[in-house]
Structures are given as structure tokens and as C-alpha cells.
Amino acid sequence: MSLLKEPDYGTPARKGDATVDVAIDGLSVTVPEGTSVMRAAALAGVDVPKLCATDSLEAFGSCRLCLVEIDGVKGTPASCTTPVRPGMTVRTQTPKLEKLRRGVMELYISDHPLDCLTCAANGDCELQDMSGVVGLREVRYGVGEGENHLDAPKDVSNPYFDFDASKCIVCSRCVRACDEVQGTFALTIEGRGFDSKVSAGGLDFLNSDCVSCGACVQACPTATLEEKTVVDLGMPTRSVITTCAYCGVGCSFKAELKGDELVRMVPYKDGGANEGHSCVKGRFAFGYATHPDRQMSPLVRERITDEWRPVSWEEAIQTVATRMRDIQSRHGVGSIGGITSSRCTNEEVYVVQKMVRAAFGNNNVDTCARVCHSPTGYGLKQTFGTSAGTQDFKSVEEADVIMVIGANPTDAHPVFASRMKQRLRKGAKLIVLDPRRIDLVRSPHIEAEYHLKLAPGTNVAIINAFAHVVITEGLVDEDFVAERCEDFDEWASFIAQPENSPESLEEITGVPAAEVRAAARMYAAGPNSAIYYGLGVTEHSQGSTMVMGMANLAMATGNIGRNGVGINPLRGQNNVQGSCDMGSFPHELPGYRHVSDESVRDIYSQLWGTPILPEPGLRIPNMFDAAIDGTFRALFVQGEDIAQSDPNTKHVFAALESLELCVVQDLFLNETSKFAHVFLPGTSFLEKDGTFTNAERRINRVRPVMKPKTGKHEWEIVAEIAQAMGYPMHYDSTSQIMDEIALTTPTFAGVSFDLLDRVGSVQWPCNDNAPLGTPIMHEGGFVRGKGRFMPTNYVPTKERSTRKYPLILTTGRILSQYNVGAQTRRTANVAWHPEDTLEIHPHDAEVRGINDGDRVSLASRVGQTSLHARISDRMPVGVVYTTFHHPVTGANVVTTEHSDWATNCPEYKVTAVQVGLQSPRLQAEEEQVAVPVAGS
Ligand code: SF4
Ligand code: SF4
Ligand code: SF4
Ligand code: FES
């Protein structure tokens, strides 16, 4: 499509049933009460000139360009700040208004460089447009004469956008975007009158509080804030609407191109998940897609010690098929398997699990969700009947109490965090359960009511204590429980036992009982209380128990089944939800239906023409163990760097080294490919054609912006491997794959590319009962019928601090980097996070003689690494924290074999470690090798 310009109605929409009728330039229009005259005019088809107004921000009324005349009203009020009144008659074009507007524009232009023809924003500048609209023909005051800002400095410090102060009209749209939309409050207008100017807290953008979300760039009506890519490449000429491939928020973007070159990513206002907002990763960090490190041709080698040999697609595919079949003939049908990727599309994942089940002939398929949200799947299925978050993101706008548990939304789910912060600034109360003081605890205009700094590994103890307060203080929603739930009495009598009281558990959790009681009362009082959680819940030995504990608490207080409430997993990767939905687990066919269910197996065996085994296959950790035992011999890995991301690196390496055949499908030669015999180059999100499903079950289209640079789509390669193995698999297009998913999966029955093109996105279930999808689940009844209370005995993790390893390590993410960093490390995002560091409390640092920036060793009983220390009072005493974005650090060298009892999700969040100052000699040696991948 040509360049898509979305309409700008000037001021935000107002909600409500009450409406007002007005007449604007003789046109009648009915709008919700509280709508501005400017927006009403736009809805009537009349564009009022404007500069300081845009519909993502509340009206400010500073530019005086949008003046109108209103019958019975004196003067010329600003249409952006004037709400409609019943029966209003408005005129937007009169000789008087035209004169006033020309006067305003003349003043702006007299202090503006007149370099339109060479300006980066030429053709995309509202100042330029408005000059035309008001018919400005001369500037009487003389451009650049007298005092002016034409020599104002340029700030080019940010890697992605420039700030050219000489072009600023001080409309404050950037400041308001940073405050209202992003919630970072990094910008201010300094000074008054002629001296007023935009300031990033007196610093340059790079060193300010700015988090590079780009909202200010998007809001700026001039070339003052402009993407560097636009400066370098010129204005884009066409748009493709697609979906960000980083996190589980699933933001929609307009990919704007010039020819085949991506110029910029602009958040799409109609995007259901993001409504026009973005973060630094989705908006700017797309350079990895064209990074020279990308592999474009298939590679093959006999042994992992050999050099890679570039081969044709035919040879690579035949090699995989022949060697897979050969291994099966020698070691049995179950000796091979595959891992699907939450980075890939639903369609790509579906064909891999189909290849495993139909061509390999076993259920040895697992997904990287094993190591992140598999406990969510288990816990929510047991209690509610389906494995997914209950709400849409918009629901948070109606939450009164927001409880964030083991999640760091401002870093890991930034666009949703901005939405949550908007709600918190409007008065919702916040409870944070996290050992570490995440940014949300205290940020501009936000302060958590309670920050419960629980000891790592004690989630279940604390959620039981919350429930104990609810039960013993009579805070249960009796009607909800009686009507909609089962097994309450057994659970309640267990929870009411004294050992579950906040007082009894205080010593274990480290959280004062009074704080737990107060927070529990606040949650129970709501009236709308919502829980948002992340990997700090799931990546524990009791991850599944904790998910059920949260579900119990929500059911007991009636916080399920309407807007503003719910249990909401903040999914890490772009398509974790989808990869699980698509049947990636060894025990489940698509739609979370167990392989032991004959009626479900029949659907697939009939359609696929081959029987499906009724026994679950191997999970990832079982595959590793079996590889070391010699019974599992070949692995197909789709887009997951298991050698870096999975715990207990030594064990993973040993397993991978044991394989006869390891096939890696990825963008880059990653850590896992060091153990691979065949490398199949993959496609970036810009080349993919399919769908991602985000954390709110929203199925978004991923549209190809360009053809696959490797010559083949990933699903085509997988289908061709299956074919070469003798199993007929062929699709003409990805929409056919989605049609097969819809045909066989009841929750996807109504989904098709046609529907998505028509309505934008839908949240599953989408079928005859809900043709346009289901934003809120369990309204009126749970998917499993009655919500089931599940027992949640607290069992301490086996991983304990000891004299030798006295600290507990917990891990997490940082805003600018993403997971193992394969993409973000290959972008200019390295400006913010060039290496993983170890956060340590000042006391723990002092007793070890560690100063800020020192190189320290980090050792657990399974391994050792080293990194720079960052002394931080965000950490409690006894707990240290690091990220896992850089292979050079290899944080997972130290994580252990412990895992969730139900799902084997690794216990990344609790590792007993020791930290010590590294000798200067070792420091010097390591500094030499610790070089991150350079950005581009
Ligand atoms: S990029 Fe985002 S955080 Fe930075 S100043 Fe602009 S709006 Fe604020
Ligand atoms: S930088 Fe742009 S948005 Fe900000 S005040 Fe200047 S012109 Fe307005
Ligand atoms: S919040 Fe997530 S999905 Fe949205 S732009 Fe950022 S990384 Fe992409
Ligand atoms: S657009 Fe209304 S005052 Fe600027």
C-alpha cells in the first residue's frame, strides 16, 4: 500500500453514552459529551488548523491556531480546549479567523529556518502544512532578523533520533507525549516566553531519563525530533501494517519503506495492543534484520569440529531428512525430536509440531515456553480450564488495585507498562511483590502502596498468606464462590490453618505480617483487583503452584470474569502464547488438547493421514538427559538458542555434544549452532508472513515487508524436510496453514487471514460463539465449567544459600536488550546496555571489598562466570541480580538443574551463589575477551 496517513482528530475520544448534537460549518454531528469542538469538527469532516493538538494527547491550547467562532460566545475560543455544548453552532472558516491564523503562523515562521526543500521532514511537517492551509504568503517581520533561535544547538546523542532545537516551535507535544503516553516525564519546557525551550532535564537525550520510546518523535509536528533513518534515507513512500517481533505485548506498527528499504517503524494507532505507542525495541531496534552477521545460505558439516560448508537448499533439506531417517532406523522412532520457537509465527510453529508428529512419528516436540511460561499453562488449565491470561490490556484501565508479582513491566513489557502507569496516575493502587525495587515501585507520580520484598523462592508462602487473610477475615466473595467455583471448602480449611498466616510465614518470606495483611485487605477490597505477573512467578520449583495460588486468590475474591480484574501473565516473547496454542508441548495437540484424547487424535490422524501416538513425548530437559544417555540422537531446533538460554549450561553442552544430528534454524550462527551439523537460515519478522498471538490472546497479522532474504520461508523448509522424509506436506501459502489450524482447533475456528485483514486483530476464542473474539475470558462461567480451587502447599526450594554460596542470584531483563540479545546486541541498543552487570546491595559489596564497576566472579555449585558489579540499593541484602542478554557473560553457567515440579520450567530465579572480587590479572585477561557484538 502507499504511505498510510492515519487521521488525526486533534483531541482524544471521549467515552460515555450521553451525546451532544452540534452544527459545524453547517454540518450536523453527534458526539459523546465532553468531546472537543476540534474533534467534533474532524468527525464532521472539517479539519480545523492546529499545531499543538494531536489526538493522542489531551488538549493544551498553546498555539492559538485552532480558533473558531461560536454563536453566542464572545471572542474566538480555541477549538481544541472547548468542549461541545448542546445545540452549539460553530464556524471554523471566517475572514476574521483566517487573519488571526495567518498572524500566528507568521510569528512562527519568522523564527524558523526556511530550509523546507532540504529539511528531513519535507512533506511530513505540520508546520509546513499549516502554512499552506492558512495561506501564508509573506512574513513581514523578516526571517532570522532580530532575536531568534536559528542557531539553537542540535542534540544528536540519541542513536536513533536527533533533536534540532532551531526548528522547535515549543508546542510541548513532545513533553506531553513523554508524560501522558509514555509516563517517563523526561522532558520539560524550561524558561518563559521567548526563552522557553524543550529540555531533557538539562542533559542530552542519551544521558537523560529518556528511554527512547519515540513517542515524542511521533508527536513532534516539525523536524525538531526526527528519526536518523529519515534524515539519512529520506521520506518513506509505502507502508505495511505488521507486528513487532520482540515482546509479548504484540504492538502493531506501520513499517514505512522506500522501495525495499525499511526507513522507520511507526506505531499504528489502530493496533489493539498498543494504540499507537511503542518502545525502543519495536520502534528502533530493527537493524539486526539486515546485519551482516545474518546467514543467508544453508550450511552443512559432518562433525561440529569441521568448518561449515555452504550448500544449496536441496542439499541441506535432503541431508536433514536422510540423517533423521537413518538415525530412526538405528535408534528407533523416538530417537529424534524438535523444539519450536516462540519467536516464530503460529504457522511456522504449527508446521514444526506437525512435522514431529506426522513425519517423525512421535510426540517429541517441546517449545522454549518450557523455560518461561509452562507453569502458566499448567496452573491456569487446572483452575480455570484454559491456559491463557484472562483479560485484554485495556482492562487495566478499569482496575482499582493492581498487583504486580515477579514482573518488571517497564523493562520487559514497556508499552503495557505505560498503559498501567496511566491508570496508576489516575488513582489505582499498586502492590508490588518482588525482592528487587523495580522502577514501578517509585517513578514520577507513582508510588506503590506496598512493596513486599519477599525472599526469592517464597512466592507460594506469601500468596497463601494473602489467601489466609481473605479467608480468616471474612473477605471472601461468597456469592461468586458459591455460584461459580468448586472445591472451595477443602481449600479454605487448608488455607485457614495457622501455618499459612502472615505471622507464621513472616520469617520465611521476610515480609512483615502487618504489610501482608494490609496488602491482602487492599486486594480483597478492590472493587476491581487485577494481578499481572511474569517469570518471577513461573521460573521457580513451585511455579505452577504459585499460578494456582494466584488463581485461587482471584476466585475467592470474585476478581475474575469482568473488566478491571483477572490473572494476567505478561508473556516474554512475541509468540509464547501462540507457540503454546499451536500444540508445541509433548502432551498436547493444538488448542491444549491432550494427546491421550482419542477423539482429538482422530481429527489429526484423519486429516494428516497418519496415526498420532497417544503417549506424551519428551520435554526439553528429558531430551537433554536422553541425549546424554544415548537414546535421543537428533534434534531440530527452530529459532531458540538453547545453549545460551537454558539453565545449567554445562549439562546442555554435554547433551548437545552427544547428538548425532543437531539442526538449527535461525537468523544468526548462535551459541547452539556451535553444536549443529546443519544450519538452516531463517527469516526476520520483516520477511515473515503469518500471525503472532500476544499475551492477551490477540492474534495479530505479521505481514511480509519484503521477500525472504534467504529465498525460502521457514514453513516451506519444514514442509520440504517432511516431504523428503516421505511424509507428504505441502501448503501453497501461509493462509492455508491458518485455515488448517482453524479447521482443527475449536478456539481458532473463526480465524482466517481474511478476518484479520477486515477487523485488524481478534482474541481467541474466536468461533461461532464469539465471531469477533473474546477480550475477557470466563465471563459468566469458567472454560472448565466451575473454577476449581487447588491446594497450594508451600514447599521450600531445595536450592538454599549455604556458607559457601551465601547469596541468592535472581535474573531478569532490561529494557534495551532482549532475551539472549541475538537481535538487540546487533543494533545501536548496545549504547544502553553493552554488557550484563551484577547488581549487589551496598552491604554485600562492602563486606566483600567490592566497589562499583569492579570485575567480580559469580559462582554457584554448577559453574562460574564473571562480570562487572553495580552497587545498588534496589537489591535487598543477600540477593544479587543479573540479566542474561550477553553470551560473553553466560549467566546460565551458574543456574541449576532445579525446576518446577509440574512442568520442568527451570528455577532461574533462585540460585545460591558466591560473589568475590576478581584478581587484577584475571580481570585484565577477561576484559580482553569480553567484547560484545558491535552494534550497527
Ligand atoms: S523518546 Fe520517549 S522517553 Fe524519551 S523523551 Fe521522547 S517520549 Fe520521553
Ligand atoms: S520538539 Fe517538536 S513537539 Fe517538542 S516542543 Fe518542539 S516542535 Fe513541539
Ligand atoms: S512493547 Fe514489546 S511488542 Fe511493543 S514495541 Fe516494545 S518490544 Fe515490541
Ligand atoms: S491546536 Fe488548539 S491551541 Fe493549538
For residues 866-889, average pLDDT: 88
Q: Among 356, 383, 379, which residue's Cα sits nearest to residue 367? A: 356
pLDDT tens-digit map of 601-619: 999 999 999 999 999 999 9
State which ligand 4 atom lies nearest to the alpha carbon of 38. 2
Considering only CA atoms, which residue is closest to atom 4 of ligand 3? 251
Quick check: 931 pLDDT over 60?
Answer: no
Name the strand (E) or helix (H) holding 738.
helix 734-744
Tell me the sheet residues that pair with 785: 782
The residue nearest atom 5 of ligand 1, judged by CA position, is 210
Pairing of strands 161-164, 225-227: antiparallel
How far apart (Å, rounded) are the C-alpha atoms in residues 852 and 65?
52
What is the pLDDT at residue 110?
86
The string of DSSP letters for 56-106 reads TS-----S--SB-EETT--S--BTTTPBP-TT-EEES--HHHHHHHHHHHH
Confidence (pLDDT) at 932: 30
Q: What is the mean pLDDT of the chain?
A: 92
Nearest CA to 695 out of 425, 285, 420, 354 is that of: 420
181 CA distance to ligand 4 middle (Å) = 19
Query: Is the beta carbon of 278 within 6 A of some atom in ligand 3?
Result: yes
Which pLDDT value is given to residue 239? 95
DSSP-H helix ranges across 332-429? 346-354, 374-383, 409-412, 414-425
Report the candidate in 436, 406, 456, 372 with the shortest Cα–Cα distance to residue 800: 456
Which of the four pLDDT bands, split at 50, 70 and 90, describes residue 453?
very high
| Ligand 1 atom nearest 280 alpha carbon | 1
Counted residue by residue, the chain has a size of 936
- Tens of pLDDT, residue by residue over 172-190, are 999 999 999 999 999 999 9
Q: What is the number of other CB atoms lying within 10 angstroms of the CB of residue 928?
A: 8
Decide if domain 154-290 falls under CATH 3.30.70.20.
yes
CATH topology of domain 807-929: Barwin-like endoglucanases (2.40.40)
Instruction: Enter the DSSP assignment of 37.
Output: H
pLDDT given at position 914: 93
pLDDT band at residue 880 using 50, 70 and 90 as cut-offs: very high
Atom 6 (ligand 1): residue with closest C-alpha? Answer: 216
Rounded CA separation 40/61 (Å): 16
Tell me the C-alpha distance between 809 and 804, whole Å: 14
Cα within 13 Å of Cα(518), Cβ side: 14
The C-alpha atoms of residue 245 and residue 637 are separated, in whole angstroms, by: 19
Asked whether the predicted pLDDT for residue 936 surpasses 60, the reply is: no
Fold that domain 18-93 belongs to in CATH: Ubiquitin-like (UB roll) (3.10.20)
Ligand whose nearest atom lies closest to the CA of 49? 4
Task: Look up residue 734 and give its DSSP letter.
Answer: H
Cα(899)–Cα(905) distance, integer angstroms = 5
Does any ligand 1 atom lie closer than 6 A to the CB of residue 215? yes
Rounded to the nearest angstrom, the distance between the alpha carbon of 200 and the centre of ligand 1 is 9
Nearest CA to ligand 2 atom 7: 168
3-state SS of 890-929 is CHHHCCCCCECCCCCCECCCCEEEEEEECCHHHHHHHHHH
- Asked if residues 542 and 797 have their Cβ atoms less than 8 Å apart, the reply is yes
**Nearest ligand, measured from the Cα of 282:** 3
Task: Give the lowest-confidence range in 500-504, 760-764, 813-817.
Answer: 813-817
- pLDDT classification of 890: cutoffs 50, 70, 90: low
Q: Is the peptide bond before 7 cis (omega within 30 degrees of 0)?
A: no
pLDDT in tens, 275-323: 999 999 999 998 888 888 999 999 999 999 999 999 999 999 999 999 9
Task: Give the pTM.
Answer: 0.93
Of the listed ligands, the closest to the CA of 417 is 3
Give, for 581, the enclosing helix (H) or strand (E). Answer: helix 576-581
857: β partners: 866, 916
Q: Where are the beta strands (DSSP E) in 301-381?
A: 309-310, 336-340, 365-367
Q: Which three cell numbers stand for residue 819?
A: 532475551
Q: Which residue has the cell 536527533?
A: 162
pLDDT at site 263: 96
CA contacts within 13 A on the Cβ side of 564: 15
Per residue in 380-403, pLDDT tens?
Answer: 999 999 888 999 999 999 999 999
In 320-364, where do the E strands start and end? 336-340
CA 434, CA 405: separation in Å to the nearest integer? 6
What are the CA-CA distances from residue 445 to residues 184, 388, 426, 927 (Å)?
10, 32, 10, 40
Nearest-CA residue for ligand 2 atom 6 is 168
Query: If you measure from the C-alpha of residue 206 to the centroid of ligand 1, how many angstroms do you get, rounded to a whole number?
Result: 10
What architecture (CATH level 2) is domain 385-569? 3-Layer(aba) Sandwich (3.40)
Give the atom of ligand 1 at the shortest distance from the alpha carbon of 215. 7
Q: Which atom of ligand 2 is nearest to the CA of 219?
A: 3
Distance 247 CA to ligand 2 centre (A): 29
**What are the backbone dihedrals phi and psi of residue 893, each rounded to the nearest 5 degrees, phi first?**
-60, -30
Which of 31-45, 252-266, 310-324, 815-829 is predicted with the least confidence, judged by mean pLDDT? Answer: 815-829
Burial 805-816 (b: 16+ CB within 10 A, else e): bebbbbbbbbbb
pLDDT single digits (tens) 639-694: 888 888 777 788 889 999 999 999 999 999 988 999 999 999 999 999 999 999 99
How much is the pLDDT for 105?
A: 93
Alpha-carbon gap, residue 59 to 172, rounded angstroms: 11
Report whether pLDDT(111) > 60.
yes
Nearest atom, ligand 3, residue 283 CA: 5
Residue 145: its pLDDT value, please? 66
Burial class of 87 by CB neighbour count within 10 A (0 to 12, 13 to 18, 19+) = exposed
Report, as an integer, the average pLDDT of 27-42. 97
SS (H, E, C) 658-680: HCCEEEEEECCCCCHHHHCCEEE
> Phi/psi of residue 578, each to 5°?
-65, -40
**What SS3 string covers 822-851?**
CCHHHCHHHHCCCCCEEEECHHHHHHCCCC
- Percent of the chain whose pLDDT exceeds 70: 97
Rg (CA), the chain: 29
Between CA 289 and CA 271 the distance in angstroms is 22
Please give the Cα distance from 444 to 433 (Å, whole number): 20
Strand partners, 189: 198
Residue 21: partners with Cβ closer than 8 Å, 6 or more residues away: 28, 29, 30, 86, 87
Handedness of CA 843, 849, 852, 858 (dihedral sign): negative
Please state the rounded mean pLDDT for residues 18-39: 97
Query: 430: closest CA among 422, 445, 417, 440?
Result: 440
The pLDDT assigned to 46 comes to 96
Cell of 660: 548425532
Give the number of the ligand closest to the Cα of residue 280.
3
Test site for ligand 1: of 184, 188, 411, most ligand atoms within 8 A of the Cβ: 184
Residues 714-729: pLDDT tens digits? 999 999 999 999 999 9
11 CA from centroid of ligand 2 (Å): 17
- Tell me the mean pLDDT in the region 742-770: 96
Q: Match 477480550 to its residue by C-alpha cell.
A: 775
Tell me the three state secondary structure of residue 183. coil
Sign of CA dihedral 862, 866, 869, 874: negative
Q: What is the mean pLDDT of residues 854-863?
A: 90
* Contact 158 CB / ligand 1 (< 6 Å): no
Instruction: Report the 10 Å Cβ neighbour count for 597.
Output: 13
Strand stretches in 494-600, DSSP E: 529-533, 566-569, 588-589, 593-594
Backbone angles phi, psi at 660, to 5 degrees: -80, -30
From the list 174, 171, 168, 170, the residue with the least C-alpha distance to 186 is 174
Neighbours of 654 (CB within 10 A): 13
* d(CA 418, ligand 3 centre) in Å: 11
On whether the CB atoms of residues 870 and 838 are closer than 8 A, the answer is yes
**Closest C-alpha to 764, from 735, 785, 742:** 742
Angle at 271 between CA 270 and CA 274, to 5 degrees: 120
Widest CA span in the chain: 92
Measure the CA–CA gap between 748 and 755, rounded to whole angstroms.
12
The answer to whether the peptide bond before residue 159 is cis (omega within 30 degrees of 0) is no
Query: Rounded CA gap, 430 and 401, in Å?
Result: 6
Instruction: Provide the pLDDT confidence category of residue 926 given band limits of 50, 70 and 90.
Output: low
Instruction: Kindly give the distance from the C-alpha atom of residue 120 to the centroid of ligand 2, in angstroms, as a whole number.
Output: 15
| pLDDT level of residue 883 (50, 70, 90 thresholds) | confident
The better pLDDT of the pair 863, 598 is held by 598
**SS3 for 555?**
helix
> Where exactly are the structural domains of the chain?
18-93, 154-290, 314-368+575-763, 385-569, 807-929
314-368+575-763 carries CATH number 3.40.190.10: no
Residue 834: pLDDT over 80: yes
Decide: 641 and 822 in contact? Cβ < 8 Å.
yes
- For residue 518, the 8-state DSSP code is H
Atom 3 (ligand 4) nearest CA: 61
